[in-house]
Amino acid sequence: MSVDHIHLRLLRSLLVPLLIFLYTTGPAGAAFAAAEELPARNVLVLHSYQKGFAWTDDQSAGIEERLKDTANPPVIYTEYMDWKRYPTQGNLEHFYETIRFKYQNIHINTIITTDDAALSFAMKYRHELLNDAPIIFSGVNELGVDSLPDKRNMTGVIEKIDASPTIRMAMELNPSLKKVYVVFDNSESGLSTGRMVMDQISSLNPGLALFPMNRLSMEQIKATASALSPDSIILMTTYYSDSTGRIVEFDRFASELGKSSSVPVYHIYDFALNHGAFGGGLISGRMQGQAAAGLAQRILKGEHAGDIPVVTDSNVRKVFDYNELQRFKISPEKLPKGSEVINEPFSFYQTYKVLVLSIVAAFAVLVTFIMVLLFYVQLVRRIRSNLEKSNERFSLATYGSDAVIWDVDMSTMIYYFSDSWYEVLGYARDELNESRGGWRDILHPEDAEQENRLRIQHLEGRSSYYYAEYRMRSKTGEYKWFQARGKVLRNAGGGYIRFAGSMVDVTDRKGYESKLQTSYQELESTYEELTALQDELLEQYNKVVENQALLQISEEKYRLLAYNDVLSGLPNRLSLSEELQRFIEEHSGGHAALFFLDIDNFKYINDSMGHTFGDELLVQVGERLLSLSDGRSKHFRFGGDEFVILFKDVAEAGEVIRYADSLVQSFKEPFQLHAGVVHISASIGVAGYPENGGNAEELLKNADIAMYKAKEAGKGSYMIYGQEMQRYFDERMIIENHLRSAVSNNELSLHYQPLVDTGTGELWGFEALIRWNSPVLGFVSPLSFIRIAEDCRLIVPIGEWVLRAACRFTKDLQNQGYEGYHISVNISVIQLMLDDFTEMVLSVLEDTGLAPEYLELEITESIFMESFEAISSKLEALKERGIGIALDDFGTGYSSLSYLKQLPITTLKIDKSFIDSIDTPDNMSLASSIVTIGHDMGLNVTAEGVETPEQLAFLERTRCDKIQGYYISKPIPEKEVAGWVAGRMAG
């Protein structure tokens, strides 16, 4: 036994009796005895959010620190609602049952709630579950407190969000400050906080320019932050999702933003410290928790909650990060008075100042008792100092490096891993039973045997230290590479005491090594080839010199290929980005317009006339566009039938409109091709720089939206982008997103409109009409969603669903005794263009058991005009199987009678517009002529939109075969059809 250990044992034997005597006879002993006699007091802390959420953990720490710092601390019970991740009624009911079960036999003296959800729960159920205990709230703003319906037996701490102190400090540190970029998300609380903060800044200094960043994605925010000028700052509020809806980890995003930003990033809350925050007047969850706990102490001492005023003082810390101050070259001496600085270089005296002074004071009081023990006290202080330094080095080494510290007690074989291991792999402590060797289960199977061999090799003394590299599976399923190193500690007999070491995440390094190895192999192969070709190159050196001009020509050719479209010779998308960037740099404050041009129905031209014909047409389109140039326009082709024109140096809006008109007019002239003459039109979208975008991608997106709107307006026209279009496009995207799950969620239904045979008066069958009732959007008109479904090709699964459901419905009617009924189903051109359309229709008939002669497919006249050859052959095959083909909306198109004879149809459907106007002689004669034409061609004729007895009488006189319309019946929901048919037969 060493001399130090003997001295320590002697010191312990002298001090322990003395401390026991002082404790039991002095004031502390009396207080302890008195505390034992007091009844147990219980405080229930209800948190709105989950444990591990920085704001909640700070409030919890502040509450516990204050409550435990008393002579007789109460028993603290803590519960988490986890409302941020699970804001559902199911979660609320589960939380209710948990509180009811756990605290049915525990008397709660005081309730402390953090944030709004927990406060609402406590107010609703404290009478039922929690002994009507007084409530102390924390983390609730003034609006939330003012809206409380019942404030009796309640007090608390108001959370005041005030960006003014932070902005004042920012202006003091940066007198040239002109711009403030405010980061907040698009959640309800995020938007309200963002508006509140910007209103406060505007009231404080109207001269500051404010830029909200809630419309940007995470990548766009970081890119913007990296390019900000020195007269700017970023002010970040809470942020948990970006403009695309992606969930954001606040700590990670704040750190990445702080690293990428070229200006200081100020924050509102102090949990952003050590995560990229420069500093500011930060709301402290810990201070709010301490204030709330102070109110709880007053209540536990006998004060009534309703008599205690609500704490309205702002719980704000003026705090700055030393590392960020150094980064932006700001001296701590320039900070406002009373500012707190974190992460300053370590100072032993400043860190342990209170401890040192306390020890000195204690020695002064007890000097008469410890003079003889001075030597031993000095020994204890020396040992303690060494221990503190050792612990300090270990803590700094553990938390200051990326390494994971691991340790194994060889007597119990219990493993320990530092926090870094859990952070890297994403597991919670003890989730894998890792302390009992469960960590081996996540080793990569290919690495486990080698790791075990190297470990045994070191433990048996065959290697001086343990070294291994292996992969471990993270919680996300991704394998990460680790480099582990360690050494075993043995006792005098050679037995194992402890096995400890570190491991480092080398996943990135392994990736680099793999790439480096590949590059090395390629380089080695290249070197061998160069060596083999060296003699040949020497011999051909003179030829290379002679052909230098040819090489330069080839280089220019490659550059043209990289920056120009091969077919038309026009510049491509890469050229547009550089051209626009060059214009922005050379013409600061200038204006330009971007025209996005798309040839209407080009796909059908390509399909029907062939790709050679289409390519020739595209070349001539490019040439015609170039012929309109006045020197200010630059033309680009993006592939397919898309062309883009950059119109520079725009002086006024009229120039853009005139140029757009000239583009539309230019397409009215036919194109003379080798295969013949073709008439086409183009839809054009226009976006202006800089009002509609500051770069090529943004301008292209907005011009594309405008072009799409031009197509919907009737094609062959142009549209200039506006914010209303963006809102329309967003609404269209919302409908498309919900439409994608409409079939799988059973949101679609069919209504059936009867068709009656005018000759017999009997019911011929029904036309199937689709309806969509979205649980989110409500009832959506088919006029709105059918076009969207066709554009995004969702019409394919939806159309098949309609056909299958309608055929199954008709077969079920026939099985119920209503034999002979037919079904008419509308078909989209998108479906008809599919190679397997014919097989799909026949497969549906086979699956549902409906005979082909009871099915009629309705095709609009424009479908045939778009791609006659490809569609006619498919419909002819179906017609030969007995399936009826109806030409819908006849009379509204542009086909001739000679063309009509070529169509594989069995029925003409007269458009409702003709039926509505048969009260005039001219229109009556026209409708009668259509019926006659149909009969002369051997076709059945159906009139739709019959609404009056006069219309019915006229159609019966003209011998129209079938009719449908509101005079017969409105479209009937599927479940009501059988009843309607039975009622009609009975009538």
* pLDDT confidence of residue 161: 84
CB 243 within 8 A of CB 215: yes
Q: Note the pLDDT tens digit of each residue in 713-768.
A: 777 888 888 756 666 666 777 888 888 888 888 889 999 999 999 989 899 999 99
Share of the chain above pLDDT 90, in %: 37
Read off the DSSP letter of residue 435.
G
Average pLDDT over all residues of the chain: 84
Beta strands in 410-460 (DSSP E): 414-417
Provide the β-strand partners of residue 322.
none
The Cα–Cα gap between 935 and 473 comes to 75
The Cα–Cα gap between 588 and 585 comes to 6
| Of the candidate ranges 343-352, 653-662, 868-877, 955-964, the one whose mean pLDDT is the lowest | 343-352
Contacts of residue 521, defined as CB under 8 A and 6 or more positions apart, other chains included, come to none
Residue 19 has pLDDT above 70, yes or no: no
Q: Note the pLDDT tens digit of each residue in 790-845.
A: 777 888 999 999 999 999 999 999 999 888 899 999 998 888 888 899 999 999 99
Give the three-class secondary structure for 121.
helix
User: Helix 89-102 and helix 115-129: axis angle, to 10°?
Assistant: 50
Higher pLDDT, 597 or 521: 597
* pLDDT confidence of residue 228: 93
Give the DSSP per-residue string, 200-240: HHHHH-TTSEEEE-TTS-HHHHHHHHHT--TTEEEEE----
CB 217 within 8 A of CB 244: yes
Q: Note the pLDDT tens digit of each residue in 897-915.
A: 656 677 889 999 988 888 8
Confidence of residue 36 (pLDDT cuts 50, 70, 90): very low
- Four-CA torsion 192, 193, 197, 199, nearest 10 degrees: 10
Q: How far is CA 325 from the centre of its chain?
A: 33
C-alpha neighbours within 13 Å on the C-beta side of residue 909: 25
Q: What is the mean pLDDT of residues 646-670?
A: 88
| Side chain identity, residue 121 | F
Q: Which of 933, 876, 920, 880 is nearest to 902 (CA)?
A: 876
Provide the β-strand partners of residue 504.
483
* pLDDT confidence of residue 823: 95
Give the three-class secondary structure for 672.
strand
In what helix (H) or strand (E) does residue 653 lie, and over which residues does it extend? helix 653-666
Structure tokens at 564: 């120009």
Structure tokens at 777: 């959007």
The Cα–Cα gap between 733 and 243 comes to 14
Provide the β-strand partners of residue 595.
645, 686
The Cα–Cα gap between 310 and 623 comes to 77
Report how far apart, in Å, the C-alpha atoms of 43 and of each of 64, 275, 307, 310 are.
10, 33, 19, 19
- Please state the φ and ψ torsions of residue 646, each to the nearest 5 degrees: -95, 115
Report how far apart, in Å, the C-alpha atoms of 881 and of each of 494, 608, 852, 853 are.
92, 25, 7, 8
| Side chain identity, residue 795 | I
* pLDDT confidence of residue 11: 43
The Cα–Cα gap between 960 and 940 comes to 8
Overall pTM surpassing 0.75 (yes/no) = no
Give the DSSP per-residue string, 479-497: EEEEEEEEEEEE-TTS-EE
* pLDDT confidence of residue 462: 92
Confidence of residue 531 (pLDDT cuts 50, 70, 90): confident
Residue 869 has pLDDT above 70, yes or no: no
Share of the chain above pLDDT 70, in %: 88
Confidence of residue 314 (pLDDT cuts 50, 70, 90): low
